[in-house]
Amino acid sequence: MAGFSPEQGPALAAIPPGTPISVTAVPPQLAQLSALAKIEPPAGGTAAQDQSQDQSQDQSQGQTQAATQAPAPRADQALARDLPDMSPEAWTRATLAASAPETPLPARLPMGPGDLISACMKLAQLDGQFALDDPEKMVEQLQAETEAFREGPGQAASALVALDTPDLQRLTEAARLTLDLRAEGLCPLELTGVDPRFAQVENLAPARQRYQEILANAAAAAQVAPPVFAMTDTQEQLAKFLASFATLPQLGEKLGIVPPSDPAFPQAAMKLLAGLAKIPAAEIPFPVQAMLQLASAAEAITTIQKAFGDDALTLPGLLRVNTMLGKLARLSLPKPGPAAAVQARIDELPAYDDIRAGAQAAKASAPTLAASAVEQPPDPPIIDPLQALSAVSKVVMQLLDLDPLSLLMPPPKPPEDPAAPPPQA
């Protein structure tokens, strides 16, 4: 069950600030700095890294290791080496021909895992919140959850959805880029002298040191031949396709039926979906659109508070953000160049272990994969309400987390003068 309660309504209603949100335009330098931070230093390192190595007591040993050990391949290089240059459809046909040769296949296979597996994966995302195998009990659960939503989070839905203005969208964009940069070891709030708390809590290196390192990496990358993405387009597609099967072995457990590696899985899954299709979703006054809008707004606010603190929507919080954005807008940064474009493509690749696990799971579940390519399972109309309910439940719980950042750290100092000079390269 989602766990809605009447107390959540007032708690959510207290989040919108009493004054309108006003956020300046997000300067391109923020996205530019995020792209630069992801650039890996070219072979040989940067000048700053070389200097650090010179001061190391283990310099000679490090030089010996560098001379005898080849650097680890990039993710795209490792996958280009290990994956066949086959499209997902070609790989699937070859796998099924070897593992399930008795199953006739259509002239054109689906782009993904097929309708049957896709429908089951949607249900598995509910994490056992509902009695999927008991339609009558599920109707009772949905009616109870609908009422609990109306009496709880639904009371604040309109106020939170009303926050979805261009200003909130800019604030959300700035928050996501700030979190991206923090993941790369640089907090823009500290870099601009606005608020050092987040860097302190996450134990990041001094912002200016990391900033100089980023610029040095970018300068070094600009002096060498542009990197080339090692994988072919079909290998890249295959990697993402195989990774989508990484969680396939757990599918049966989450749905309460046999695992996909069992030849009986297709029949059990079809029976489960047929039972769900009998639920008259139209008879349940389920506010799907309101739930999705609330989930979207709650997710944006959660992201903003994670990046800028639980007071981010207040006047002091917005002043800190606008001060940071104003100072970043005056930075002069180099263009990320082709190295950043290649790195962005590498970052979008699934984890190697997920690709390998997905390939193994797909091979072990070949009969199910074959059935999913040809079966036309029922499309229960209740799935969309279930997904909406699950989505809003998760983000509401995150938004009402009782461990705000302000309780973990001392109050911030007042923002510096927005007209103060930005950090120098």
Distance (Å, rounded) from C-alpha 211 to C-alpha 253?
A: 47
Q: Which two tokens stand for residue 371?
A: 């059935």
Local structure of 263: helix, strand or coil: coil
Distance (Å, rounded) from C-alpha 226 to C-alpha 339?
A: 6
CA distances from 158 to 291, 294, 310, 342, 403 (A): 11, 8, 21, 42, 25
Distance (Å, rounded) from C-alpha 189 to C-alpha 195?
A: 5
Task: List CB contacts of 386: < 8 A, sequence separation 6 or more.
Answer: 123, 126, 130, 142
- Taking the model in full, what pTM does it have? 0.80
Q: Which residue has the tokens 């009402």?
A: 400
Distance (Å, rounded) from C-alpha 246 to C-alpha 239?
A: 11
Closest to 368 in 3D by CA, of 177, 149, 92, 156: 92
Distance (Å, rounded) from C-alpha 319 to C-alpha 324?
A: 9
CB 371: neighbour CB atoms within 10 A? 23
Q: Are 373 and 109 in contact (CB under 8 A)?
A: yes
Digitized pLDDT (tens) for each residue of the chain, 425 residues in all: 557 888 888 888 888 887 789 999 999 999 999 999 998 887 655 444 444 444 444 444 544 444 445 668 899 999 999 999 999 999 999 998 888 787 777 888 888 899 999 999 999 988 677 888 888 888 888 888 888 888 888 888 888 888 889 999 999 999 999 999 999 999 999 999 999 999 999 999 999 999 999 999 999 988 888 889 999 999 999 999 999 999 999 999 999 999 999 999 999 999 999 999 988 766 556 677 878 888 888 899 999 999 999 899 999 999 999 999 999 999 999 988 888 999 999 999 999 999 999 999 999 999 999 999 888 999 888 888 888 888 888 888 888 763 333 323 344 454 555 555 555 55
